[in-house]
């Protein structure tokens, strides 16, 4: 763990969470939704971990996990936060990391998480335009690929 990371560890402890090391160079921090923005602001502005690689979504059954994957030279830092599946709303981090716009749009399309404050959140990024409104987001575990194919009319017309 590098010096920046131990510095981050101190801050994380003050915020009531801690940095867990997954493997060499790779650590993960669990932050609650209401503390997330303050934590990320500290990460980006004070620790200078500026490169957001992407935002990963995970379906954990009852909840959705949103993982912000940052990298700083040799270190990879996953900042992990949970969003309830029943009410998938999260705060946008576009004001802290402007490069997050498209990743948040992607997560909105794939998991149905609404990012409050994202400037382009009403746009569709990935799914086709004729995507039925009542179809659940594709990457949820309950959604089946065949079901989507049937609704999109992609099932082959076999003789």
- Kindly list the residues in this chain that would bind another protein in the complex (CB under 8 A): 22-23, 25-26, 50-54, 56-59, 67, 69, 71, 73-74, 76, 78, 97-103, 106, 110, 120, 123-131, 138-139, 143, 145-146, 148-149, 152-154, 156-157
Which residue lies nearer to another protein by CB, 54 or 63?
A: 54
Which residue lies nearer to another protein by CB, 1 or 154?
A: 154
Place of tokens 């560890």: 9
Which residue lies nearer to another protein by CB, 10 or 21?
A: 21
We find the least distance from the C-beta atom of residue 14 to another protein, in angstroms, to be: 26
We find the least distance from the C-beta atom of residue 17 to another protein, in angstroms, to be: 18
We find the least distance from the C-beta atom of residue 106 to another protein, in angstroms, to be: 8
End-to-end CA distance of the chain, in Å?
Answer: 61
Q: Please state, as a whole number, how many other Cβ atoms lie within 10 Å of the Cβ of residue 52.
A: 21
Which residue lies nearer to another protein by CB, 16 or 158?
A: 158
We find the least distance from the C-beta atom of residue 142 to another protein, in angstroms, to be: 12
Which residue lies nearer to another protein by CB, 14 or 156?
A: 156
């Amino acid at each position: 763990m590098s010096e920046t990371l131990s510095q981050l560890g101190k801050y994380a402890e003050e915020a009531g969470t801690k940095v867990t090391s997954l493997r060499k160079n790779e650590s993960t921090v669990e932050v609650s939704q209401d503390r997330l923005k303050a934590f990320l602001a500290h990460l980006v502005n004070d620790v200078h971990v500026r490169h957001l690689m992407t935002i990963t979504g995970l379906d954990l059954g009852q909840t959705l996990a949103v993982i912000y994957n940052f990298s700083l030279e040799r270190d990879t830092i996953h900042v992990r936060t949970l969003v309830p599946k029943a009410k998938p709303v999260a705060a946008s981090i576009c004001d802290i990391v402007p490069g997050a716009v498209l990743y948040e749009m992607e997560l909105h399309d794939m998991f149905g998480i609404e990012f409050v404050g994202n400037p382009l959140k009403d746009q569709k990024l990935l799914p086709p335009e004729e995507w039925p409104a009542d179809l659940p987001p594709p990457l949820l575990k309950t959604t089946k690929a065949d079901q989507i194919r049937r609704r999109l009319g992609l099932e082959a017309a076999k003789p």
